[in-house]
Amino acid sequence: MTHTLHRRGSRESLSKDYTVLTIPAQGHNDPGSDPKMAEFLRIALRHNPKNIGSLKMNMYTHSAEDVVRHASKLGHAVFDNPTTVTAFLKDLQEADLGMSVVVGGVLDTVNEAVHAAGLARHTVEVSLGVWGNTDRLPAEDILEITTMCGHGMVSANLVKAMVEDVKADRRTPTEAANRLLAPHCTCGVFNPARAADLLAAMASKE
C-alpha cells in the first residue's frame, strides 16, 4: 500500500498530479540499492519534476543535488502531466535499475502513460476512501491539499492559514505552497504546483 494512494480532488485537478516512486524489497534487492535510488532521482530531474525526495529530504528543504547525494531506501518524484511521466518511464526502462516502480494518478491516464512508454502494468491499487466518523475530517478542499502528504505532515490548520494569507495578499499561492507547505512533507511526494492552484481557488471564494 503506497502512501500516495489517498489523494483527493476532481479529475481536472488530479490530472495535474502524478507520483512516481521506487523502493527496494527488504531482504531481496535492498543491498546496494542506495546508488540506484540516487540514479532514479537524477533521471527524474531531467524531466522537470515538481518535487523529488528520499526519506527526510525533498527539494524544498534541501537542494536537488543534496537530495540525490543523500538518497537512501526510496526515491520519490512528482510530475504535473502524463507526457512527462511517459518520458521518465522510458528513461527508467533504459536505465534498468532493477527496482519496482509505482505510478500514482488517475487510473486511465496512468495506464495511457505506461502503455505509451511501452510498458505493461503489473498491479493496480485503489483507495476505498476514509471510513468511520468522517464528519470530523477537514473540509474537502482542505483535504485535497493535506492528502498530498501521505504521512499527514501538512496540517489542515496550516492550509487554512495559507488561504487567509493569500486572501490578504501577504503571500502568493506559489510562495505559500513552496515555502510553507511543501517543506513539511519531508519525503517529497507533495505537489506544490497543484497546491498553489488549490490555494488560489480557495482564496477566491467569498
Condensed to tens digits (0 to 9), the pLDDT of residues 127-175 reads 998 999 999 999 999 999 999 999 999 999 999 999 999 999 999 999 9
Burial of 13 (0-12, 13-18, 19+ CB in 10 A): middle
CB 198 within 8 A of CB 17: no
* Average pLDDT, integer, range 69-98: 97
pTM for the full model?
Answer: 0.95
State the residue for C-alpha cell 498530479: 17
Domain locations along the chain:
11-116, 135-203
Please write the tens of the pLDDT for every residue from 98-139: 999 999 999 999 999 999 999 999 999 999 989 999 999 999
Q: Please report which confidence band the pLDDT of residue 206 belongs to, taking 50, 70 and 90 as the band edges.
A: low
Class of domain 11-116: alpha beta
In this prediction, residues 3-14 reach a mean pLDDT of 94
